[in-house]
Amino acid sequence: MTFYKIAEGVFVVIGGSFPKCNTVVIIADEVVVIDPGCSVEDLRGFLMAQDLDLRKIDTVILSHIHPDHITHTMRLNRLSGCRIAANEITAPLFNEKEEMKKFLGFHKGNPVRKLWEQLVNERMYGAFDEGRVDEVLKKGDTFGLGDITLKTLHTPGHLPDHMCIEIVEPNIIFASDLDLTEFGPYYGHPNSSIRDFKMSIKKVQHGEYDGLISGHLRDPLIVDYKTRLAAYARQIRIREDLVLSAILEGANTMPEITANPIIYPSLTNPVFLQFETWMIEHHVSSLIDRGLVEEDKGKIKEI
Ligand SMILES: [Zn+2]
């Protein structure tokens, strides 16, 4: 179990890369857990080290609906009776898991839906548990926890419901899946948006924080986050150039473009091929918007 103390009463329990995530724990007037996607044993161990336990959790806040971030929410709710807080877009998806599946692109007709559900159940068990959000947060809502105030910051793109959470004192932002990983920005669902992602990166860059907490880096606190976000955003353009060169070299359909993986290093799992395809579809749309390629009778061609 690894955890970092970020400031007085602000901790991160490391979950690391997908299918887990880093979990922020705030111990103030209340015990607040943000994104319970680390190992539940690690969260238990961390709380015990603070003379607390899982039953003492008052509130769970969700940054967005991804299974690796909501994994243990209902388990903690059953143990502690904690309230669950999420934003206006996330809440109805959490309350109705079929809506969540559709939102993520896995409607009943999706050919890899079963495999994806299997992946979630094997690696993020609990994410599909039925439950309800108790407190719906609006954009920019603040909530005070004694010495610590939290404020939501809507940052769509990764998914339309994605939000960061500003920890106003001590002036740190939990950036969740604006995660600054080597992999780069993830926008692998039909409703993800490259344009919104770039705007959200700018929004966080403009904030004058003392540090950023990544949702997935094992060394989670980044102080020079403005430079790191610029490098992170550049990955989008690098990928777009790779998609364009594949098209210029004669790949004219999605299977032809995805024949050589561009985003994931290898594609042996059909679920990840689906994510790669959705990400590349966003790039093709972007290239069309930029007037560099066109789609004609199902074929993607240079203009
Ligand atoms: Zn996510």
Give the Cα separation of 295 and 284 in Å (integer).
9
At residue 180, the pLDDT reads 98
**Lookup result for tokens 């789609």:** 295
Q: DSSP letter at 302? A: E
Give the Cα separation of 186 and 183 in Å (integer).
8
**Per-residue exposure over 124-146, b if at least 16 CB sit within 10 Å of its own CB, e if not:** bebbbbebebeeebeeeeebebe
Tokens read off for 101: 């599946």
251 alpha carbon – ligand 1 mean position (Å): 30
Q: DSSP letter at 237? A: H
303 alpha carbon – ligand 1 mean position (Å): 35
**Counts for the chain of helices (H) and strands (E), in that order:** 10, 15
At residue 212, the pLDDT reads 98
Q: Under DSSP, is residue 297 helix (H, G, I), strand (E, B) or coil?
A: coil
Q: Under DSSP, is residue 24 helix (H, G, I), strand (E, B) or coil?
A: strand
* CB-based contact 284:293 (threshold 8 Å): yes
80 alpha carbon – ligand 1 mean position (Å): 25
**Lookup result for tokens 């907490």:** 213
**Lookup result for tokens 């909530």:** 143
Packing angle of the helix pair 225-248, 194-206 (nearest 10 deg): 160
At residue 240, the pLDDT reads 97
At residue 261, the pLDDT reads 87
Q: Under DSSP, is residue 153 helix (H, G, I), strand (E, B) or coil?
A: strand
198 alpha carbon – ligand 1 mean position (Å): 15
Q: How would you write the pLDDT of the chain (303 residues) with one tens digit per residue?
A: 999 999 999 999 999 999 999 999 999 999 999 999 999 999 999 999 999 999 999 999 999 999 999 999 999 999 999 999 999 999 999 999 999 999 999 999 999 999 999 999 999 999 999 999 999 999 999 988 888 999 999 999 999 999 999 999 899 999 999 999 999 999 999 999 999 999 999 999 999 999 999 999 999 999 999 999 999 999 999 999 999 999 999 999 999 999 888 998 877 899 999 999 999 999 999 999 999 999 998 899 998
201 alpha carbon – ligand 1 mean position (Å): 15
pTM, 2 dp: 0.97
Going from the C-alpha of 199 to that of each of 165, 196, 205, the distances in angstroms are 17, 5, 10
190 alpha carbon – ligand 1 mean position (Å): 14
68 alpha carbon – ligand 1 mean position (Å): 7
Domains, the chain, in order of start with CATH, read 3-230 (3.60.15.10), 236-298 (no CATH)
CB-based burial label for 119 (10 Å; 0-12, 13-18, 19+)? middle
200 alpha carbon – ligand 1 mean position (Å): 14
Residue 262 dihedral angles phi and psi, to the nearest 5°: -110, -40
Tokens read off for 131: 């439950």
197 alpha carbon – ligand 1 mean position (Å): 12
At residue 125, the pLDDT reads 97
Tokens read off for 106: 């896995």
* CB-based contact 97:107 (threshold 8 Å): no
124 alpha carbon – ligand 1 mean position (Å): 13
Residue 295 dihedral angles phi and psi, to the nearest 5°: -110, 125
